[in-house]
Amino acid sequence: MTTEYGFFDSAFSAADAVAGSIEQGQLVAGKAGLFWVEFRPEDKGRTVLCLRDWQGELQDLTPEPFTVRSRVYEYGGKSWCLLGCLSGQASQYQFAFVNGADQQIWLQSIGSRESPQPQLQPVQLTHERECRYGDLIYDPQRQRIIAVQEKATADPTQPDHSLVAIALQSGVITCLSEGQDFYASPCLNNSGNQLAWISWNHPHMPWVNTRLSLANLSNDGSVINEDQVAGAGHLTELMTESLQQPRFLPDGSLSAISDNNGWWNLYRYLKEGGGVDSRLRFPSDESGVEGVWPAQAEFGIAQWQLGVSTWDWMNQRTAEGHEALWLVASFLEQGKGYLGIRLIDSDLESEESVTLLAPEFSLFRHICCYKGKIYCIANSESRTPAILEITPGFETAAQVRVLSGNKEISGLEKVSLPRTICYPVAADEVAHGFLYLPQLIAGSDTKPPLLVFTHGGPTGTTYPVFNPKIQFWTERGFAVVDLNYRGSAGYGRDYRHRLAGQWGVSDVEDAVAAADYLVKNGATDSHNLFIRGGSAGGYTTLCSLAFSDRFRGGASYYGVSDPMTLTRDTHKFESHYLDWLIGDPDTDASLYQRRSPLLAADQINCPMIFFQGGQDKVVVPDQTERMVAALQQNAIEVEYHLYPDEQHGFRSSENQVDSLDAELAFYRSLLRS
C-alpha cells in the first residue's frame, strides 16, 4: 500500500463501488411470494421487478427493454402494484407497472414455474402519451387501478395532477379528485368503500404542509362526501402540518404520520361510531385524534418520491387466544434507524411498550406485513442492503432471516464504520453528521485529507449505513464527513425547518464548521479540505467555495449555480421550493443575487470539477455550463464532464464509474500540487 494519504492503493475500484451500490425498494408480499424493484446500473440503468417465491426461488419479471420506473414529479417512486388472479387461472397472478420509456401503465402476468406460460409479455393498458402515472394501488372490488396522473399542459413546467382510476378491462380513465397541485398516497379501506389520500398546494413541499382527505366511494367507484380530515388550513390558516402515509386499520379507522407535535409520529383518526360507513371524527374534537406511538423520533421521511412505507400493521392472536393489533414501524433517533413493534389494541392489560427488532441494522425501509411476519429492506454499517423476514415472536424472541443481500464486499481492505458527530455551529446550535476515517498510517504525524459530503434536497437525509462510494474514498486514504446540516430531515420539525429562508447560509455555515471541528480535533489535515455534493448539495458546495476560503477544491454534480434561474427553469414539484428556502423571487430578488454562486464566481479561487446530465430537467445543463464559463473567464482551473443521456442523478454504471475516477484524479492532482 502506498503510505501517503489520498494515494492508497486499493483493489476496490470505482466499478466495484458502483456495482456494490445496490438499490432495492417497493417491497410487497403476496400469495406468489415477495416482490421488489431493483435498480441495476450495470444493465443500462434499468429497474427490474423481482420475485422471490415462498420456496426461495428468485426470478426477474421485467423483460427487456422494459424498465419499471415512474417519473411523476420527476423523482417518481412507487411504480407498480400487485393485482389479483387471472380470471379462471388460480395459479397465475397479474401485476401492473409503469414503463420508464413511455410512462404508461402495462399489465403483466406470472404463474408457477410448472404452468404452461410461467411469464407472459406485458400488455399496454393506458395510451395517454401526454400523461405519466405513479403511486399505483389496486381496487379489487371494481377491477381497476387508482393512481396519481400527471398530465402535460401548454406550459411544460406546470402539468396538471389528479387522482384517477383506470379500468383493467377497458383502460378507461375516470377522475376521482382534482384541483390540488399535488397528490400522493391513495389508500382504500378493507371494504373498498372509502378512499384516503394526501395532497398539497404551492408554495408548499410535502414535508412542510399537506392535507389528509377522506371520501366515500359509491358502488360505481365515484367519489362522494369528500372531506379534509387533517392538515393544511384545517383548523386555522396559520397552521402547518406535514402528513404522510395514510392507512386504514382493521377497525376502519384511519391512521397517518403527522408532525403536529414537532416530530413525525403515528396518529389514529377515530370513528364516531361502528360500521365501515361511519365518518371519521375531525381532530378539532380532541377525542377524535389519538397519538398511537408518541416519541421524540421521526417515523416519516422527506417524501421526494411516491410510495414511502415506514410502517404497517398486523393482527396477531396471542398464545392465550387474545386478539391484538400491533403497529410495526421504522423510525430515526439522532440519525440512526430502528425497527419497532407496539401493541395498540388488545383485550389484554398492556404497558404499550415498544419492542425493538433486528438491532444489528441501522436503517429500515419499505415495511410490509404478511401472515404474521414482517418484511423490510434493511441497511447495516458494514454490509450491502438486506431483505429481511422477521417473525416478531410476541411471546418469545424475534427471529430474523435474511432472504437476500447482507453481503460483504470483496476487495475492501477495511470497512470504515460511521462515527456519529454532533458539532457546534452558529447561534449556539448544533449540526449532525457521520465521520468515516481511513486506515491510519502507523507512526506518521500527517493527517488524511477531508471530503465533506453535502446531500441533496436540501431537505434530505444521510444515514449511518454502508455506502460503497464512501468506502471508495476511505480506501484511498481520504476521511469523509457525511453531513446532515441544519434543514435535514430526521431530527424533528424544528431542525428540518431551520433551513427556511436560510439556504446558502446555514448549510454553508455547517459545512465550514464541520471542517473546522474535525481539524481542531486532529482528525484531518487543515490544508487539504475538499467539498462535494449533488443537486442541492452541489449548491451548498458552490456556495461554500464562493463564500468561504476553507476548501482547496470542490466537485459539483448537477449542482444549482443560479437559484433565480432555477425558479424559472425547474419542474413543477420544486418550482416554488425556493420561496421557502430563500424568499419570494420578486420581492426578495436581492437575496437571490447575494446567494448566487454564479454571480459570486469571481470569489471562487480554487479549482473545481463539474458533472452534468444532458437530459436533466431539474438542474438544466445551461446552469452548470454558465458556471463553468464564469470560472474559466476568471482563469480558475475547471473540469467539465457532460453525460448527454443522463438525467438528474446518473443511472448508467459506465458514467458513474467515469465520474468517480475523474473526481479522484482531480483531488490527487491538487494534493500533489
For position 163, what pLDDT does the model report? 98
Could you tell me which residue, 417 or 318, shows the higher pLDDT?
417
Q: Flag whether pLDDT at 120 surpasses 80.
A: no
- Rounded Cα gap, residues 517 and 266, in angstroms: 36
* d(C-alpha 670, C-alpha 524), whole Å: 16
What average pLDDT does the segment 494-515 reach?
97
Does the pLDDT value for residue 222 go beyond 90?
A: yes
Distance CA 269, CA 291 (A): 9
283 pLDDT band, cuts 50/70/90, is very low
Cα–Cα dist 167/145, whole Å: 7
Asked whether the beta carbons of 326 and 316 are under 8 A apart, the reply is yes
Residue 579: pLDDT band with limits 50, 70, 90: very high
Phi, psi at residue 449, to the nearest 5°?
-65, 155
Q: Of all residues in the chain, what percent carry a pLDDT higher than 70?
A: 91
In order, the DSSP letters of 610-646 are: EEEETT-SSS-HHHHHHHHHHHHHTT--EEEEEETT-
**Would you call 234 helix, strand, or coil by DSSP?**
coil
Q: Is the pLDDT of residue 336 over 80?
A: yes
C-alpha–C-alpha distance, residues 456 and 548, integer Å:
20
Give the model's pLDDT for residue 583: 95
Buried b (16+ CB within 10 A) or exposed e, 117-138: eebeebeebbebeebbbbbbbb
User: In the prediction, which pLDDT does 565 show?
Assistant: 87
Mean pLDDT of 605-613: 97
Residues in contact with 349: Cβ distance below 8 Å, sequence separation at least 6, in sequence order: none
DSSP 164: E
CB-based contacts of 493-502 (< 8 A; 24+ apart in sequence): 493/242, 493/259, 493/262, 493/263, 493/264, 494/262, 496/207, 496/302, 496/459, 497/208, 498/429, 499/458, 499/459, 499/581, 500/580, 500/581, 501/580, 501/581, 501/582, 501/583, 502/581
Average pLDDT, the chain: 90
pLDDT at 275: 37
Q: Which residues pair with 379 in a beta bridge?
A: 363
pLDDT above 70: residue 115: no
| pLDDT score of 274 more than 50 | no
How far is C-alpha 486 from the geometric centre of its chain's CA atoms? Answer: 18
- pLDDT over threshold 50, residue 287: no
Name the DSSP class of 553: E
> Residues with Cβ < 8 Å from 199, sequence gap 6 or more?
177, 180, 181, 182, 183, 184, 210, 211, 213
Looking at the predicted structure, is the pLDDT value of residue 116 above 80? Answer: no
Task: Tell me the pLDDT band of 278, cut-offs 50, 70 and 90.
Answer: very low
Mean pLDDT computed over 564-585 = 90
Q: How confident is the model at residue 442, as a pLDDT?
A: 83
CA-wise closest residue to 328 among 337, 339, 316: 339
* Rg (the chain; Cα; Å): 25
Q: How far apart are CA 6 and CA 473, in angstroms?
A: 8
Going by C-alpha positions, the residue among 259, 126, 251 that lies closest to residue 191 is 251
Residue pair 636/670 in contact by the 8 Å Cβ criterion:
no
Residue length, the chain? 673
Query: Which of 17-26, 180-189, 277-286, 540-549 is predicted with the least confidence, judged by mean pLDDT?
Result: 277-286
pLDDT at residue 280, rounded to an integer = 45
Kindly state the average pLDDT of the residues 481-504: 96
d(CA 488, CA 256): 22
- pLDDT value for 221: 94
d(CA 246, CA 585): 34
Banded pLDDT at 567 (limits 50, 70, 90) = confident
Q: How far is CA 645 from the centre of its chain?
A: 23
Cell of 601: 464566481
Q: Looking at the predicted structure, is the pLDDT value of residue 322 above 90?
A: no
Report the distance separating Cα 532 and Cα 517, nearest Å.
18
The pLDDT value recorded for residue 582 is 96
List pLDDT tens digits, range 139-161: 999 999 999 999 999 998 899 99
**According to the model, what pLDDT value does residue 512 have?**
98
Cβ neighbours of 599 (radius 10 Å): 17
Residue 114's contacts (CB-CB under 8 Å, 6 or more residues apart) are: none
Non-local CB neighbours of 496 within 8 Å, separated by 6+ positions: 207, 302, 459, 487, 488, 489, 490
- The dihedral region occupied by 143, where left means phi > 0, alpha psi between -120 and 50, and beta the remainder, is left
Q: Can you state the angle between helices 506-520 and 536-547, rounded to 10 degrees?
A: 70
The residues, ordered by sequence, that sit 6+ positions from 451 with a Cβ below 8 Å of its Cβ are 473, 478, 479, 480, 481, 530, 531, 532, 667
Sign of CA dihedral 57, 61, 67, 70: negative
> Are 67 and 46 contacting, i.e. CB atoms less than 8 angstroms apart?
yes
Q: Cell numbers at residue 621, please?
A: 445543463
d(CA 576, CA 280): 33
DSSP class per residue in 27-70: EEEETTEEEEEEEEGGGTTEEEEEEEETTS-EEE---TT--B--
Element (H, E) at 468: helix 468-474
Q: For residues 328-353, give the mean pLDDT.
A: 82
Fill in the DSSP letter of residue 200: E
pLDDT at residue 119 in the model:
67
**Residue 340 and residue 326: Cα distance in Å, rounded?**
10
Band (350; pLDDT cuts 50, 70, 90):
low
Q: Are strands 529-534 and 553-557 parallel, antiparallel or unpaired?
A: parallel
The phi, psi pair for 354, rounded to 5°, reads -105, 130
Smallest CA-to-CA distance from 347 within 321, 313, 371 is with 321
435 vs 365: CA distance, rounded Å: 23
pLDDT tens-digit series, residues 367-422: 999 999 999 999 999 999 999 999 997 666 789 999 999 998 888 888 999 999 99
What is the model's pLDDT at position 113?
A: 58
Amino acid, single-letter form, for residue 510: D
